[in-house]
Amino acid sequence: MTDLAIRTEGLVRRFGDFTAVDEVDLAIGRGEIYGFLGPNGAGKSTTVRMLCTLMAPTSGTATVAGFDVGSRPGDVRLRIGVALQEAALDPKQTGRELLRLQGLLYGLPKGAMAKRVDELGELIDLTDALDRPISTYSGGMKRRLDLVAALVHNPEILFLDEPTTGLDPVSRVSVWKEVRRLNDELGMTIFLTTQYLEEADELCGRVGIIDRGRLVAEGTPDDLKRSVGADIIIARVDGDAEALCPTIQALPAVQSVEAHGNELVIATDNGSAAISPIAVALNSCEVAVRDLTLRTPTLDDVFLELTGSHIEREDTNEETDR
């Protein structure tokens, strides 16, 4: 069995003259949480639909759980769970009815369904709400129900397409908790699309950044952030900071120091490790330090460096976030 849960080579999807996904190569190992990060319209959802066999590639190849999405779609579907951006929930059904139907569609034995549904309700803290109509659920409850509906058959690979879009902060953290637990306890491979920088940073072991259909960077969040520059520490002191530059420059972790009036701008490879020695050095100079601020690069800095724009931009050229 291959160690890769998902592999694509030269994956392309065109809509007429418009190329939504452009020569994307992915190699995602089993047990990874992989983040697909990009703004609206970047091609994230189109990629997910191809990997889930909901849309045929224009060209290129894709295998999921060891099966080609074009020639073996049935085998792929049996091994994946999918929660797309818009939860397809019948408001007249109860949560329990929805989960039972999902289980029956996947061929789970009727005798085992009651226990499985109760397990899933406990997993996302919805046990008390399972017998209520879905129309009475909050947005966060609906999102969590849609998540466990994708888990009824214990899939090998879970696709989550912007799972926390539109959720309040409390519900978002709840979804994050469940994603981590699925990965930690079950070893489930999770392919997560998001436009939230914090979400990718919090959850994903590796991140692929997609822009205008092309994969422009890939790596761990920390590696990607380190690739765009050093951490910056800003020290604001009483008086002119120029005389302090030689003392700070002599510290091993410091790359460079610039003085601007009463401020020192200090570049370092590891801001968290350097900030304490810098504070000690400033104290030895008998100077009053008004504040000491650490700024580390963010994934938005990475995106800006690679594409020239911020990830939060609105892009309406592509309907339903192709």
- CB atoms under 10 Å from CB of 260, counted, come to 11
pLDDT band at 320 (very low <50, low <70, confident <90, very high): very low
- CB atoms under 10 Å from CB of 315, counted, come to 14
pLDDT for 290 beyond 70 = yes
- Tell the CATH topology of 4-79+155-225: Rossmann fold (3.40.50)
Report the CATH architecture of 230-296.
2-Layer Sandwich (3.30)
Residue with more model confidence, 98 or 319: 98
Supply the mean pLDDT for the chain.
88
Return the pLDDT at 312. Answer: 62
Return the pLDDT at 115. Answer: 86
Q: Encode burial over 67-96: b for 16+ CB neighbours within 10 A, e otherwise.
A: bebeeebebbbebbbbbbbebebeeeebbb
Task: Compute the distance between CA of residue 278 and CA of residue 238 in angstroms, rounded to an integer.
Answer: 16
Domain boundaries, the chain: 4-79+155-225, 230-296
- Cβ partners under 8 Å of residue 267, min gap 6: 229, 230, 231, 232, 254, 255, 256, 257
Q: Encode burial over 195-223: b for 16+ CB neighbours within 10 A, e otherwise.
A: bbbebbbbbbebbbbbbbbbbbbbeebee
Per-residue pLDDT tens over the stretch 40-87: 889 999 999 999 999 999 999 999 999 999 999 999 999 999 988 766
pTM exceeds 0.85 for this model:
no
Distance set, CA 281 to CA 119, 177, 246, 269 (Å): 56, 41, 11, 18
Q: Which of 6-10, 41-45, 123-127, 281-285 has the highest mean pLDDT?
A: 6-10
Task: Compute the distance between CA of residue 30 and CA of residue 27 in angstroms, rounded to an integer.
Answer: 10
Distance set, CA 241 to CA 78, 251, 259, 260, 286 (Å): 65, 16, 6, 7, 12
Return the pLDDT at 85. Answer: 75
Residue with more model confidence, 174 or 36: 36
Percent of the chain's residues with pLDDT above 70: 95
pLDDT band at 125 (very low <50, low <70, confident <90, very high): confident
Per-residue pLDDT tens over the stretch 198-256: 899 999 999 999 999 999 999 999 899 888 878 899 999 998 899 999 999 999 989 99
pLDDT band at 314 (very low <50, low <70, confident <90, very high): very low
Per-residue pLDDT tens over the stretch 135-182: 999 888 888 888 888 888 889 999 999 888 877 888 788 888 888 988
pLDDT for 277 beyond 90 = yes
pLDDT for 269 beyond 50 = yes
Return the pLDDT at 319. Answer: 40
Return the pLDDT at 18. Answer: 96
pLDDT for 1 beyond 70 = no
